[in-house]
Amino acid sequence: MPMIQADIRRGRTPQQRDQLIRDLTRIVHEVTGAPMDTIAAVVRELPGAATYEAGTPSPEYVPGAGGIDLAALAELNARRRQAGQR
């Protein structure tokens, strides 16, 4: 019965979404020992502005090399610089 829910920002390719949900299911199977047939999973995709972290809205996904999330990375680094200056 393991039940997996992932809320992510929109913008990934269908291939990324497919790989995400497939790999999440496989991990649950391997680590918990639950049979594949008993694992359910959903991915819900949201606009960036409907998700927050660190008190600010998330930027939309901007993929870089290898699918890396350039926008989220830039924001994380900005937060770290700010934190370093406090």
Give the residues lining the site for a second copy (CB under 8 A): 1-9, 12, 14, 16-46, 49-58, 61, 63-64, 66-69, 72-73, 76, 79-80, 83-84
What are the tokens at 49?
A: 């502005």
Q: How far is the CB of 30 from a second copy (least distance, A)?
A: 8
Three-class SS state of 2: coil
The distance of closest approach from Cβ of residue 62 to a second copy in the complex, given in angstroms and rounded to an integer, is 10
Q: 69: burial class by Cβ within 10 Å (0-12, 13-18, 19+)?
A: buried
What is the nearest approach in angstroms of a second copy to the Cβ of residue 60? 12
**Chain Cα centroid distance, residue 56:** 17
Strand partners, 20: none
